[in-house]
Amino acid sequence: MAEVVATNIDKFFQPRGIAIVGASATPGKPNNQILEFAKQMSLHGNVYPVNPKLDEISGLTCYPDLLSIPAPIDLIVLSVSPRNCVRVAYDIKKRREEKGDAGAVTVVAAGFREMGTEEGENLQQEMMATITECGARIIGPNCQGVVDAYNGVNTTFSVPPNTPKGGVSIVSQSGAFATSFLRWARDQKLVGINKFVSLGNMADVDFTELLTYMADDEKTKVIAMYMDGINDARSMIDVAAKVTRKKPVVVIKAGKTSMGTNVAHSHTASIAGNNDIYNGAFRQAGVIRAQSVADFYHTARTFDKQPLPKGNRICILTVVGGPSTICVDELVLTGEATLAHFSEPLKKELAKYLVPSANIGHPDGYIDMTASVTEKMHADVLKLLMQDDDIDGIIFMTTPPGFIKDEGLAEAILEGYNSVPQAKKKPLLSVMLAGNAVAKCRTILEENGLPTFEYPDDAARVMVNMIRYSAYRRQNS
């Protein structure tokens, strides 16, 4: 009999084998999709379907139970009824005691504590007691499991294997919310992920433990979290305060009102807690709390792609008037950002490349190039702004004119941005007010690390979040 010891959560992300209990051969069913995604993502082909009614699924040998799988399996996916989950829990315990593997379990099945019934509560308690008794760890129940894009792990039915890789690690109590982020971002390559964890009821592995783990994960550049509630808020905040000294943590926290708290509880059996207390605790710990879904999406992905600003002095570079006013309002209302100061030498250099009717420095830090622009003009002006040490960040706004092609505009912006060495880089956020009409331009920029936005206020809020976090890092370095 193998020695039974508690498993670290790295087995969720680096398993020797994955067993999918309840795997289906029927296309269109979640249990089939889980198997297909796991198979397609696997780097070593170590995926084992478990279903006593089938001998083979998608070319893979299907096993009647967990105990009959001969190869090592560290990660087990439970996608069967709640009562069957309880039954399989005893097989997990037995396998762990006999072979020493089976240390990580994701319970995709729902119908437990979140139901608010005595039966659901009892089923969750029995399953958890059986599995944790043997030192195995659990994510879920009522979740979508995990993804590790670099290690080839996927236990979900909703995160496609071709999802771009990147530095964002997503931890969410709501699987649907997290996957909606990825679906929104997919077409224009707006975000790339490292890890994805859907926590569901959070009966065992929680935010605090994952924060601790991801703090030392080299491929995680930013941690993005959706929360209904937290089991031990004080511990989580204490850990977050240490993590944010290394990398940004972006949170969207549901349950701001009493009614919202009730909805959160019915969703994952979590207690949302006092909103004002969370606001203060997050700010003190250096956690960026997003105020909207768009704020959350854009802030997380921008932290992954762009350097932090060294200060709060922002330049507005634009070819459109009204949206620029909206952008400036959003920036300065917080009191955390200001418009940069243009020196006289900079103004003179800018004037060499812009038409006479261009507005340079009225107000200070503001440039309206007007509609009389060329590709080269974009590159030349951005080069000057990137080189100026009195500017900490740039928000560029345009409704791209029809006489400039998407590729040409994107290449000009990239030329200007990349004209300085990495150490001198500053955040450049590009607002493309034509949205999907300039999809090709946006995709080129995104693939090269320059985040794009449809609306100026979104870009302004992200810039403020970056300024806020950068200041926190400087104060706590």
Tens-digit pLDDT profile for residues 272-323: 457 888 899 999 999 999 999 999 999 999 999 999 999 999 999 999 888 9
pLDDT of residue 87: 97
Range in 63-77, 258-272, 340-354, 438-452 with the lowest mean pLDDT: 258-272
Per-residue pLDDT for 88 more than 80? Answer: yes
Q: Which of 287, 305, 323 is the last residue of a domain?
A: 305
Q: What is the pLDDT of residues 196-208, one digit of tens each?
A: 999 999 999 999 9
The CA-CA-CA angle for residues 342, 344, 345, to 5°, reads 105
Q: Which of 271, 305, 339 is the last residue of a domain?
A: 305
Of residues 366 and 372, the one with the higher pLDDT is 366
pLDDT of residue 322: 85
Q: Are residues 429 and 453 in the same domain?
A: yes
**Average pLDDT in the 94-108 region?**
96
**Average pLDDT in the 86-103 region?**
96
Q: Are residues 460 and 332 in the same domain?
A: yes
Q: Are residues 413 and 440 in the same domain?
A: yes
Domain count, the chain: 3
Q: Are residues 267 and 319 in the same domain?
A: no
The CATH number of whichever domain residue 50 belongs to comes to 3.40.50.720
Q: Are residues 193 and 51 in the same domain?
A: no
pLDDT of residue 434: 83
Q: Are residues 299 and 336 in the same domain?
A: no
Q: Are residues 30 and 125 in the same domain?
A: yes
pLDDT of residue 372: 86
pLDDT of residue 267: 47
User: Is 229 strand, coil or helix?
Assistant: coil
Q: Which of 124, 141, 158 is the last residue of a domain?
A: 141
Q: Are residues 324 and 468 in the same domain?
A: yes
Per-residue pLDDT for 69 more than 50? Answer: yes
Q: Are residues 232 and 252 in the same domain?
A: yes
Per-residue confidence band for 255, with pLDDT thresholds at 50, 70 and 90: confident
Q: Is 163 domain-assigned? A: no
What DSSP state is assigned to residue 458?
H
What DSSP state is assigned to residue 42?
-
Q: Are residues 227 and 129 in the same domain?
A: no
pLDDT of residue 273: 57
Domain residues for the domain of 193 are 168-305
pLDDT of residue 336: 95
Q: Is 417 domain-assigned? A: yes
Question: How far from chain centre, in Å, is Cα 266?
Answer: 24
The CATH number of whichever domain residue 264 belongs to comes to 3.40.50.261
Q: What is the pLDDT of residues 148-181, one digit of tens each?
A: 999 999 999 999 999 999 999 999 999 899 999 9
pTM equals 0.92
pLDDT of residue 258: 53
Q: Are residues 203 and 84 in the same domain?
A: no
The CA-CA-CA angle for residues 210, 216, 220, to 5°, reads 75
pLDDT of residue 477: 78
Give the burial string for 75-109 (b: 16+ CB within 10 Å, else e): bbbbbbebeebbebbebbbbbbbebbbbbbbbbbb
Mean pLDDT of the chain: 92
Decide: 310 and 242 in contact? Cβ < 8 Å.
no
Q: Are residues 332 and 211 in the same domain?
A: no
Per-residue tokens: 439: 């999809």
Per-residue pLDDT for 10 more than 50? Answer: yes
